[in-house]
Amino acid sequence: MPQSVSQDIGAPIPNNTPHAVSVTLPTWEATVGYEEGQDWVVNKMHSGYPRFFIHSKIQELAALIELNYARDDEKTFIFPTYNVAKRCREFIKNKTKLTPCPVRIFQLSSPAPKNEDEASFRIEANIAVVFFPSSEFGLAKNYWQHAGEGISSRLAEYFLNEMRDKLTADIKDKRPGLKRNSGRSSRSSRSSRSSHSSTLNSNPTAEFSTFVEERFGRNLDVRFAKEAKKLLKQRLATSIEHNTSPDDVYLAPSGMAAIFAAHQMILNTTEGASEQKSVCFGFPYVDTLNILRKWGAGVHFYGFGDDESLDELEKRLEGGEKILSLFCEFPSNPLLKTPDLIRIHKLSAKYDFAIVVDDTVGNSSNLDILPYCDITVSSLTKIFSGDSNVMAGSYVLNKQSPRYKIFKEYLNENYEDLFWDQDAIFLERNSRDYESRSKEMNKNSLKVLKLFQDCPLIDRIYYPSVSESKKHFDALIKPGGGYGALMSIVFKEEADAVCFFNNANLSKGPSLGTNFTLVCPYAILAHFQELDEVANWGVDKNLVRLSIGLEPAAELLGVLQEALDLAKEQRDFADN
C-alpha cells in the first residue's frame, strides 16, 4: 500500500490515471497554498476534482473552439446538449451585472460511424458551446460547478480525437500566421480554477496512457454503452429494493447534476414554486446549498440537522409557511449526522412538501431510505464506482410517493441522457462488486474507529455508530448493513492534526468512497473562505476526514498508527 501512494503535488489519484477524479495535496501547507492560489502549489496542479478543476482535455478543446469561433473578448464553456447550454445562458443573464450581456450558443458534432465496423469505436458526439464576455467567466464557472452538467473529460478527449485536425486546419485557414505547435493560447491564465488554460500541442504521455487504458481491457466496444446503462440502472434498482424498477432510475453525469435535476423537476412541477423556499436540513456538501440558494425562491438552512432543528421546522410549518422541498444527506458529510427521516416523512405528508435524500455517504447497500422520501440522489462517482476514474450520478423515484405520477410525466417529456457512453462503460465495469466492496469498507472502518477511540490526541470522532443521531441511522439500516466508510476526526491541538495528516502515508485529496483510503483536511479544502462561518455549524477548521478503503486492515492500521505516534512524539516534545 504505501509504495503506490504518490506524495507529489498535483499528481492524479490514482497515479497515472488520465481521467482521475482526485488529485494529490500531500500536506496541510499544500492544501492551504492551493486555496490561497500560491504559485508553488497551483503551478503543479495538472488535474483536480472535475467540477472545480477543468480537465486538460476540456481546456484543450475549449481553446481550439475559441480560436475558431470566439469573437473579441469571449470565453467558453462546453456542455453535452443545447438544453444544458440554454440553462447556463439563462443563469449568466440572470446573475450578470453587465448591460447588455451577449451570450450565444454554438453546436458542433463529430462524424457518425459510416458502417458497422466503425460503430465499435465511433459515436456521433454532440456538444453545445456557450460563448460569453470574458468578464463573466466566474459566473459561467459557477454554473459548471453547481449544476454539474459540463461535458466529461472522456467526451472532450473523444471529440478532440475526432475533430482536432479539422479544427486546427480551420484555424490555419482563418489565421495563416498561426503555427500548428503554437503553444499556449493568448487567453490562458495561471490556473484552470479561474480560467481555461490550454495548448494546441498533443501530449504524448497522455496519449500513451489513454492507449494503454483502452487497449488492455479497461474500455469496451462502444456499441455496448446502451447495455451498460441498462445494467447500471438494474444494479441500482436491485440494491435499492422495494420492487424499484430500472425505469425509475435516472443516470446523470455527476452526483451534483442529479441533485440539480431533482430540484429543477420539483420547481417545474409544483404549483406556486416560485413563492416557496426549500429547506436544506443538516450541514451539506457545499454545492447542494448553492443550488437551493441560487435557483428558486431561496432556502431555509437548518445547519445542525438535529431533532431540535426539526422542532423548529415543525413550528415554522405549523405557523402556516409552505415550503417547496426538503433536501438532506443521510448521513451528512463531513459530520456524519443522520436526520430523523421517518419524522420528516410524516411532516411531508402533513404539510405537502417533497423530500430529496442524498444517500451517497451511507449508500444503498447499507440503508433502506427510498420509502421515506420522494427521490433519492447519489454520487455514483464515489463508492458505487470506487476506482476514482469516472464521474456519474443517479436519481431514483419512489413509486409510492404521491408525487410519483407527476414526476414521471415530467421526466418522460424532459429527461435528457447527459451521461457520456464511454463513462457508462467504465462505471458498469467498476460497479460490479459494489456491494461486496461496501461491506469490506464497513469492516475496515470499525477497526479504524477503535484505533482513534484509543488515541488520547483526538478530541472528537464523527461516525454514524458513535453519533448522537445513531438511532436515526439504525432505524433505516438494512440487515447486514453497516455504517459506511466515511469518518471525520478532530484533534485537541491544531499542530497534532497537521502532523498526523502530513505523516500519514496515504492518498490525500478530494472525493470519497474510493477503493483506497483517502484523507483530506476537509474544512480547509471545502470551506477555506468561510472557516468562521462553518465553525458555527460544528465544522472545525482542523477536521480531518478519512474515506476508508479496501487495504488489508493490518496495513492500514499500521500506517495510521505510525502517523498518530509521530503526532504524539511531537506533542510530548512540545509539552516538555
Please check whether residues 211 and 262 belong to one and the same domain: no
Please check whether residues 100 and 184 belong to one and the same domain: yes
Domain edge (last residue) among 215, 232, 264: 215
Q: Which three cell numbers stand for residue 441?
A: 469498507
CA distance 473 to 282: 14
Q: Is residue 318, in this structure, part of any structural domain at all?
A: yes
The residue assigned the cell 454514524 is 464
Sign of CA dihedral 411, 415, 417, 418: negative
Angle of helix 225-240 relative to helix 434-453, nearest 10 degrees? 50
Angle of helix 137-147 relative to helix 286-294, nearest 10 degrees? 110
Regions of the chain with pLDDT less than 50: 1-3, 178-219
The residue assigned the cell 481555461 is 196
Which CATH number do you get for residue 360? 3.40.640.10
Please check whether residues 328 and 438 belong to one and the same domain: no
Please check whether residues 438 and 359 belong to one and the same domain: no
Q: What is the share, in percent, of the chain residues with pLDDT greater than 90? A: 85
DSSP-derived 3-state class of residue 549 = coil
Is the peptide bond between 14 and the residue preceding it cis, with omega within 30 degrees of 0?
yes
Nearest CA to 358 among 392, 402, 399, 393? 393
Question: Does pTM surpass 0.85?
Answer: yes
Order across the sheet with 104-109: list the strands.
Answer: 74-79, 126-133, 104-109
Domain count across the chain: 3
CA distance 267 to 274: 7
Which whole-number Å values give the CA distances from 118 to 113, 124, 180, 215, 228, in the listed order? Answer: 5, 11, 28, 16, 19
DSSP-derived 3-state class of residue 195 = coil
Please check whether residues 36 and 90 belong to one and the same domain: no
Nearest CA to 239 among 323, 145, 357, 362? 362
Domain edge (last residue) among 432, 461, 493: 432
What does the pLDDT read at residue 511?
A: 96
Please check whether residues 448 and 400 belong to one and the same domain: no
Q: What residues contact 308, with CB distance under 8 A and at least 6 apart? A: none
Neighbours of 215 (CB within 10 A): 9
DSSP character for 184?
Answer: B
Query: What type of residue sits at position 289?
Result: L
Estimate to the nearest angstrom the gap between the alpha carbon of 246 and the chain centroid: 23
Query: What would the pLDDT profile of 422-446 be if each residue is shown by its tens digit?
Result: 999 999 999 999 999 999 999 999 9
Please check whether residues 424 and 511 belong to one and the same domain: no
CA distance 364 to 362: 7
Please check whether residues 63 and 198 belong to one and the same domain: yes
Please check whether residues 365 and 477 belong to one and the same domain: no
Q: Is residue 520, in this structure, part of any structural domain at all?
A: yes
CA distance 49 to 511: 8
Neighbours of 464 (CB within 10 A): 27
Nearest CA to 312 among 298, 331, 326? 326
Q: Is residue 555, in this structure, part of any structural domain at all?
A: yes
Give the structural domain span for 276: 244-432
Please check whether residues 261 and 376 belong to one and the same domain: yes
CA distance 397 to 375: 5
What does the pLDDT read at residue 521?
A: 97
Neighbours of 113 (CB within 10 A): 15
CA distance 511 to 368: 24
Q: Is residue 220, in this structure, part of any structural domain at all?
A: no
The H or E element spanning position 502 is helix 494-503
